[in-house]
């Protein structure tokens, strides 16, 4: 614990000296454990807190201290941000932001509710979610569904500047939480199911002017790749414009690779990391080249980029020529762990495709790639020499140059883990991962592109994985050095909330039925369970105020897993297949939008 605190202080000192490595305000806020200053806890994405007042001995005594209704239904992803005496929370569309006074049990200091064109709602693929705000330099940054990026005055809620990042008439929307590095705020884009071309954009935090944009597909000049300098699997890419040549004709222009997940940052290496999503369309035959598989670069990839220029230092593609919608946007957690007797600066990614990846975050070298769900069957393993998955023909949806109906593919398109972020504890050296345990039948079909219209090209049916006894979720502890599950705790439904670990030895997560669960980080023993008013797809956070530690979470069922309840869908194949898998969820919870704050008895 002391070593972790010393390391954090050292990072802070490095960042502040000369102001080169990070935003000083962000570093200062996240280095104070009383705050929860970023959606992922810190730049490295640990979702870990040094607070230890709540521990394995007393977590069972937690009680509700106060609650706050957001006034909005549908899925509440992301979580509260706490800086000093103020908590900032957000809602799904209409994307209200509240500043709450922690000295007065959540009294509203100010609220901001943007006016948005209601026609944006139908082009939001998997519920009207938003993953939260960023706070830095006296501003609150919000990415609205209608593609407006706005900077609000943190004290008053008044808009300082706003800029358009896309056009919902083309299927582009915003759902991801922004991240601030130095004088830039980073924004992705959603809409891979509408033929949107993915990108990451850097805006100046002072005035909203655009600094750079890196596309996920297309020529190197637009993807900000230097094939002679950008590394892939330990050597320069070498060949130019793979973002064009690895696509069928002009499919790269509507090629997906959207960037609606999470962004992490290493202040020492000065690199920002993020993932790109599925290629459009879901029908692989339309993306094949001369009837053959082709990588569809740079969809389904992890990028490491220079935050000032956007230039890619390295890239690693996890699922080339994706045939199953294994959207590659999940968070990239940065940690220092021992592998083979040597301390390594690593990036750990739990992909939708069911593999847990450990890479050297400086070079992109692949160190470990193993299944974190034993039911994964679409590939036998990852070839460590090439970094490519070895696909099993039985579960391919593209055979002999044609799309085919395929049954029993594990995981489903929901993935062994979706966007719900995992946590890393420096105390145990383990990663704590909310996972799904669902399989699918996949039926591709030909689809034509029309701007602003769905460009999916597949029908899915989802169901619990075999031998899961009806359970569709697991909360696991993962050893990223060995690529092994240390322990696993099953849940009836997919675990769709972000995890939290603490110095008190307790890991927290939420369930789709609405339970906040606390477990012993050493063995997964359940220590606490409390049911909130609605299902939890938000991320559990913790903070300290007036000397007392609190746990906070937004509950409000929805997201892709809960889209049936959120949007009133009932058909098994509706909600891109998710409705059938979670048909029983309505027996346990209903829509809501509530912040619940827990603490120990006074």
Do β-strands 48-49 and 500-502 pair in parallel, antiparallel, or remain unpaired? parallel
Cis omega (within 30 of 0) on the bond before 574? Answer: no
Residue 413, token pair as written in the block: 């398109």
User: Could you write out the DSSP letters of every residue in 357-392?
Assistant: EEEETTT--EEEEEESSTT--SEEEE-TTT--EEE-
Residue 317, token pair as written in the block: 């593609």
- For residue 509, the SS3 value is strand
Q: Which residues have CB under 8 Å from 32's CB, separation 6+? A: none
Q: Which residues are paired to 552 by β-bridges?
A: 541, 597
The CA distance from 565 to 67, in Å, is 23
Place of tokens 């979670």: 582
Please choose, from the candidates 64, 73, 93, the residue with its C-alpha nearest in 3D space to the C-alpha of residue 534: 73
Task: Quote the distance between the C-alpha of residue 232 and its chain's center.
Answer: 23
CA end-to-end span of the chain, whole Å? 27
Place of tokens 């056009």: 167
The CA distance from 344 to 295, in Å, is 29
For 601, left (φ over 0), alpha (ψ -120 to 50), or beta?
A: beta
Q: How many CA atoms lie within 13 A of 173 on its CB side?
A: 28
Query: Catalytic: 325?
Result: yes
Residue 35, token pair as written in the block: 């705050």
Contact 351, 379 (CB under 8 A): no
The 10 Å Cβ neighbour count of residue 94 is 19
The CA distance from 82 to 279, in Å, is 36
Question: Which of 183, 220, 325, 327 does the annotation list as catalytic?
Answer: 325
Residue ranges with strand state E in 238-288: 264-266, 271-275
Residue 160, token pair as written in the block: 């300082």
Please choose, from the candidates 465, 346, 445, the residue with its C-alpha nearest in 3D space to the C-alpha of residue 398: 445
Residues annotated as catalytic (active site), given as ranges: 325
């Amino acid at each position: 614990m002391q070593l972790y605190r010393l390391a954090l202080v050292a990072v802070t000192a490095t960042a502040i000296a000369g102001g080169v490595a990070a935003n000083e305000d962000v570093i200062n806020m996240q280095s104070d454990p009383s705050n929860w200053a970023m959606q992922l806890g810190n730049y490295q994405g640990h979702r870990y807190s040094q607070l230890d007042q709540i521990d394995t001995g007393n977590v069972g005594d937690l009680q509700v201290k106060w609650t706050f209704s957001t006034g909005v239904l549908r899925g509440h992803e992301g979580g509260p941000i706490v800086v000093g005496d103020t908590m900032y929370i957000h809602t799904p569309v209409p994307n209200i932001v509240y500043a709450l006074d922690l000295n007065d049990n959540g009294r509203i200091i100010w609220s901001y509710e943007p006016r948005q064109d209601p026609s944006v709602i139908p082009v939001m693929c998997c519920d009207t979610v938003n993953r939260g705000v960023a706070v830095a330099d006296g501003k609150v940054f919000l990415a609205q569904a209608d593609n407006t990026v706005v900077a609000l005055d943190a004290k008053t809620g008044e808009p300082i500047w706003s800029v358009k990042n896309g056009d919902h008439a083309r299927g582009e929307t915003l759902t991801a939480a922004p991240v601030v590095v130095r004088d830039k705020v980073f924004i992705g884009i959603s809409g891979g199911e509408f033929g949107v071309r993915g990108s990451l954009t850097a805006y100046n935090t002072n005035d909203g002017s655009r600094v750079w944009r890196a596309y996920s597909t297309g020529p190197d000049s637009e993807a900000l790749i230097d094939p002679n300098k950008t590394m892939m699997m330990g050597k320069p890419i070498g060949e130019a414009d793979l973002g064009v040549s690895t696509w069928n004709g002009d499919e790269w222009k509507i090629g997906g690779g959207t960037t609606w997940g999470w962004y992490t940052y290493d202040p020492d290496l000065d690199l920002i990391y993020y993932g790109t999503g599925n290629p459009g369309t879901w029908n692989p035959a339309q993306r094949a080249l001369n009837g053959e598989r082709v990588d569809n670069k740079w969809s389904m990839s992890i990028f490491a980029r220079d935050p000032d220029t956007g230039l890619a230092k390295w890239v690693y593609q996890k699922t080339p020529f994706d045939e199953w919608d294994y959207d590659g946007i999940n968070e990239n957690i940065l940690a220092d762990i021992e592998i083979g007797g040597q301390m390594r600066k690593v990036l750990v990614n739990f992909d939708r495709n069911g593999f847990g990846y450990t890479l050297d975050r400086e070079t992109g070298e692949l160190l470990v790639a193993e299944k974190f769900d034993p039911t994964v069957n679409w590939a036998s393993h990852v070839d460590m020499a090439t970094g490519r998955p070895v696909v099993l023909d039985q579960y391919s949806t593209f055979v002999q140059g044609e799309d085919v109906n395929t049954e029993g593919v594990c995981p489903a398109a929901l993935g062994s883990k979706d966007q719900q972020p995992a946590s890393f504890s420096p105390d145990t050296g383990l990663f704590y991962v909310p996972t799904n345990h669902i399989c699918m039948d996949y039926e591709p079909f030909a689809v034509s592109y029309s701007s602003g219209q769905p460009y999916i090209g597949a029908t899915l049916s989802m169901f619990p994985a075999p031998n899961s006894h009806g359970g569709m979720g697991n909360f696991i502890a993962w050893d990223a050095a060995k690529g092994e599950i240390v322990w696993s705790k099953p849940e009836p439904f997919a675990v769709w909330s972000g995890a939290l670990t603490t110095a008190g030895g307790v890991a927290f997560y939420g369930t789709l039925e609405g339970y906040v669960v606390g477990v012993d980080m050493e063995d997964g023993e359940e220590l606490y369970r409390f049911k909130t008013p609605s299902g939890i797809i938000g991320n559990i956070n913790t903070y300290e105020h007036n000397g007392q530690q609190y746990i906070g979470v937004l509950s409000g069922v929805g997201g892709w897993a809960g889209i049936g309840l959120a949007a009133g869908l009932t058909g098994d194949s509706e909600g891109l297949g998710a409705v059938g898998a979670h048909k029983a969820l309505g027996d346990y919870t209903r829509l809501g939008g509530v912040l619940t704050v827990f603490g120990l008895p006074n």
